[in-house]
Chains A and B, each alone.
Chain A
């Protein structure tokens, strides 16, 4: 896509240069291709290409029973696995009117919030890398490893857990879970403070991200953005407060809302969210009581005929699942609402008019995961 820019009479005619960013590229978070038309350093056009990671998950779901679908959902947003699983089980539980035991709900919340911290740590590391700072990514990945060690002890896997089930969780957590999580939270707080102090108010990062990729609140709403991207544009919408699921109405936490809608706000809301997640986990640990971890159900879930839309607050935004059930053990139709998909749509509007270096920063600040964009 090169366009001849008509010059004024007498001035040289210029041609836009077409630069391809991706699909293999150190900066883009996953296999994602951006065709940039640049005029010198400025981006004048952008065509995003997705679909490199399309695996036909939704079609596959029509041929699998619900407990098999959980493994598919793990792999959608492969950075925040527990949150995806939660979206699915919430939908099926809503459809079947299942009351999940409290202990299971608390454990789900703890794991999901820890996963939120892990996901945001990855974001901070890669965002700093996009801006040019190499060191923070190593610090955040180390903290992430601590969280994933806990996940491994709980569910058996560092990442693709396959732990939540319709009606509860697969098995109870170990006896030392509370102690372990408590210790982990202390380390995480130190790690978060360290990375925050290292990055957030540094002059160079501020210069790179302030005022870059601004999207206003009404525009963000119109594009269907959600999560920290939407909240950074001064729209206080959080699914955990708006339509509480699990037991989020029993815990107190703050929700950071940015005022400028630029990349820095999107970055900093996530840093603050990490701290709030630590608070939530602490409260859940305090409220955790012994009890059953699974509702009384048949082994293979057979939801009645009907349709349901359930959603949860993923680290990336509003993760929705729409299930059309025909009464069988497999869904008739299952559609996922991926938050990164919607957050990625306004990329063209965000990037056009800024510099190439900004394109990288803006894409990084949106925090997309191609697994859920492409499904």
Chain B
């Protein structure tokens, strides 16, 4: 039976969450532009407000007051609904994310399943956008996006399952909260309570989750579906004004979400280093929670920074290469991770055997990929020729001494 007070509290929580999300997401847009600009030796936003901090506000005002154009051929309801379909699941994901011990809108025992289920819904939104824009480019982009997102859901799901198996719980609070679990008579404590973040235990899972998360977001090097030099915006190309603002928001909310997920699952979230251990056991719970939340946000921003760093560095993969990478590399790796975790737990091996096996495995995979795809000795197919005199006195171009 749901009481009024629960409803009011939940509504307040949702409102607070919304406000906080908007602020963080806007600040993320600023961070991305500033970081990218610095990487590219530019200034970035620097006019609106100190260091351009009010730039997102200016962007928001511009987007909301811009004319909302709809192509004449575009079906009205689909065109209007597509952004909603994309942003609604993005927002609903946040309901169960804990920002501190007990700092979450709604607790769910099946939290991880909930996350997985909702993140898949966005694919529908993208397809709607692609189809509902009545444009060949956006159609192409929508198809690419759908294929990409659906394919890269799988490694994420498998990694989440591996984490759940390790923690023996699907509840996000347990994953982060560092409540020690007991398996086969042995206590596994890994985060909080003096444990280590899962990144050190399951590095393979971290790598797979991060890369697959990048692809989920549609971020470089996996941003082919809105690649500017080809389909110019992909499924979003016909949107402008407020509709576009919603897509933009959804993209950054998702970025924030992937970063938060990474931190919560692998970097110990708000519980590592444990705020209680820093402030002392007698610190007021408010201070403990605040510190925990601050840790969390700092780590999330760091991860988001890395995501933006990737954007400024890498070219983008072609769609078939992207799919090949997802299906032929990431999915087997995620399964390997899951099998490793299960094996370690089943045989009751100590926790440190997990990184002991996964790190060399990662190293081997990386090395093989490098040798096959990027080794300069193999890849450098350009020889140097110089002017030389042939036997008959002719001046010709011949390979330089030392080259074949």
- Which residues 256-315 of A sit at the B interface, judged by CB distance below 8 A? 256-260, 264-265, 268-269, 272
- Taking a contact as CB atoms under 8 Å apart, the answer to whether A357 and B379 are in contact is no
- Taking a contact as CB atoms under 8 Å apart, the answer to whether B41 and A138 are in contact is yes
Cβ 8 A contact of A129, one of B229, B313, B318, B373:
B229
Cα–Cα distance between A260 and B383 once the two chains are bound (Å): 11
Cα–Cα distance between A254 and B223 once the two chains are bound (Å): 39
Cα–Cα distance between A133 and B220 once the two chains are bound (Å): 9
- B320 on the A face (CB < 8 A): yes
Q: Note all chain B residues with C-beta closer than 8 A to A252.
A: 386-387
- Contact flags A188-213 to B (C-beta < 8 A → 1, else 0): 00000000001101111111101000
- A27 on the B face (CB < 8 A): yes
Q: Note all chain B residues with C-beta closer than 8 A to A25.
A: 232
- Taking a contact as CB atoms under 8 Å apart, the answer to whether A258 and B315 are in contact is no
Known: A201-B379, A204-B316. A132 touches B385 (CB 8 A): no
Cβ 8 A contact of A255, one of B136, B228, B318, B384:
B384
Q: Note all chain A residues with C-beta closer than 8 A to B229.
A: 26-27, 129-130, 132, 360
Cβ 8 A contact of B317, one of A142, A204, A265:
A204
- Taking a contact as CB atoms under 8 Å apart, the answer to whether A241 and B315 are in contact is no
The size class of the interface chain A forms with chain B is 35 or more
- A322 on the B face (CB < 8 A): no
Cβ 8 A contact of B374, one of A131, A201, A357:
A201
- B277 on the A face (CB < 8 A): no
Cβ 8 A contact of A41, one of B317, B319, B384:
B319
Cα–Cα distance between A19 and B369 once the two chains are bound (Å): 35
> B223's closest neighbor in chain A, by CB?
A132
- Taking a contact as CB atoms under 8 Å apart, the answer to whether A259 and B381 are in contact is yes
Q: Note all chain B residues with C-beta closer than 8 A to A60.
A: none
Which residue of A253, A255, A258 has the most chain B CB atoms within 10 A of its CB atom?
A255
Cα–Cα distance between A210 and B40 once the two chains are bound (Å): 26
- Taking a contact as CB atoms under 8 Å apart, the answer to whether A133 and B314 are in contact is yes
- Which residues 1-55 of A sit at the B interface, judged by CB distance below 8 A? 17, 19, 25-27, 41
- Taking a contact as CB atoms under 8 Å apart, the answer to whether A134 and B312 are in contact is yes
Cβ 8 A contact of B373, one of A132, A133, A142, A203:
A203
Q: How far is the CB of B43 from chain A (nearest CB, A)?
A: 12
Q: Note all chain B residues with C-beta closer than 8 A to A41.
A: 319-320
- Taking a contact as CB atoms under 8 Å apart, the answer to whether A241 and B395 are in contact is yes
- Taking a contact as CB atoms under 8 Å apart, the answer to whether A358 and B318 are in contact is yes
- Contact flags B367-379 to A (C-beta < 8 A → 1, else 0): 0011001101001
> B397's closest neighbor in chain A, by CB?
A236
Q: Note all chain A residues with C-beta closer than 8 A to B41.
A: 138-139, 142
- Which residues 181-237 of B sit at the A interface, judged by CB distance below 8 A? 220-221, 223-224, 227-232
Q: How far is the CB of B396 from chain A (nearest CB, A)?
A: 8
- Taking a contact as CB atoms under 8 Å apart, the answer to whether A268 and B319 are in contact is no
- A76 on the B face (CB < 8 A): no
- B390 on the A face (CB < 8 A): no
Which residue of B379, B387, B398 has the most chain A CB atoms within 10 A of its CB atom?
B387
Q: How far is the CB of B53 from chain A (nearest CB, A)?
A: 23
- A356 on the B face (CB < 8 A): yes
> B39's closest neighbor in chain A, by CB?
A135
Q: How far is the CB of B401 from chain A (nearest CB, A)?
A: 11
The size class of the interface chain B forms with chain A is 35 or more
- Which residues 305-360 of B sit at the A interface, judged by CB distance below 8 A? 311-321
- Taking a contact as CB atoms under 8 Å apart, the answer to whether B374 and A202 are in contact is yes
- Which residues 36-70 of B sit at the A interface, judged by CB distance below 8 A? 36, 39-42
- B400 on the A face (CB < 8 A): yes
Cα–Cα distance between A41 and B225 once the two chains are bound (Å): 12
- Contact flags A243-259 to B (C-beta < 8 A → 1, else 0): 00000010011111111
- Taking a contact as CB atoms under 8 Å apart, the answer to whether A256 and B314 are in contact is no
- B382 on the A face (CB < 8 A): yes
Cβ 8 A contact of B382, one of A205, A268, A360:
A268
- Taking a contact as CB atoms under 8 Å apart, the answer to whether B384 and A254 are in contact is yes
Q: Note all chain B residues with C-beta closer than 8 A to A265.
A: 381-382
- Taking a contact as CB atoms under 8 Å apart, the answer to whether B318 and A208 are in contact is yes
Cα–Cα distance between A356 and B319 once the two chains are bound (Å): 10
- Taking a contact as CB atoms under 8 Å apart, the answer to whether A132 and B315 are in contact is yes
Q: Note all chain A residues with C-beta closer than 8 A to B42.
A: 138
- Taking a contact as CB atoms under 8 Å apart, the answer to whether A134 and B382 are in contact is no
Cα–Cα distance between A206 and B315 once the two chains are bound (Å): 10
- Taking a contact as CB atoms under 8 Å apart, the answer to whether B386 and A253 are in contact is yes
Cα–Cα distance between A269 and B381 once the two chains are bound (Å): 10
- Taking a contact as CB atoms under 8 Å apart, the answer to whether B382 and A272 are in contact is yes
Q: How far is the CB of A137 from chain B (nearest CB, A)?
A: 9
- A78 on the B face (CB < 8 A): no
Known: A138-B41, A203-B374, A207-B321. A131 touches B383 (CB 8 A): no
- Taking a contact as CB atoms under 8 Å apart, the answer to whether A360 and B374 are in contact is no
Known: A236-B397, A360-B229. A19 touches B40 (CB 8 A): no
Known: A135-B312, A202-B314. A357 touches B227 (CB 8 A): yes
Q: Note all chain B residues with C-beta closer than 8 A to A260.
A: 381
Q: Note all chain A residues with C-beta closer than 8 A to B385.
A: 236, 254-257
- Taking a contact as CB atoms under 8 Å apart, the answer to whether B319 and A355 are in contact is yes
> A237's closest neighbor in chain B, by CB?
B397
- A128 on the B face (CB < 8 A): yes
Q: Note all chain B residues with C-beta closer than 8 A to A198.
A: 313
- Taking a contact as CB atoms under 8 Å apart, the answer to whether B381 and A256 are in contact is no
Known: A142-B41, A206-B373, A238-B397. A254 touches B318 (CB 8 A): no
Known: A26-B229, A206-B374, A357-B230. A257 touches B382 (CB 8 A): yes
Q: Note all chain B residues with C-beta closer than 8 A to A17.
A: 136
> A20's closest neighbor in chain B, by CB?
B136
Q: How far is the CB of B233 from chain A (nearest CB, A)?
A: 10
Can you name 25 A-B pairs with beta carbons within 8 Å? A19-B136, A128-B315, A132-B221, A133-B315, A133-B316, A134-B40, A135-B312, A202-B315, A203-B374, A204-B315, A206-B373, A208-B318, A208-B321, A210-B379, A236-B396, A241-B395, A241-B396, A254-B386, A255-B386, A255-B397, A259-B382, A272-B382, A355-B318, A356-B231, A357-B230
Q: Shortest 7 CB-CB distances between A and B: which pairs?
A: A132-B316, A131-B315, A27-B229, A236-B397, A132-B315, A133-B315, A138-B40
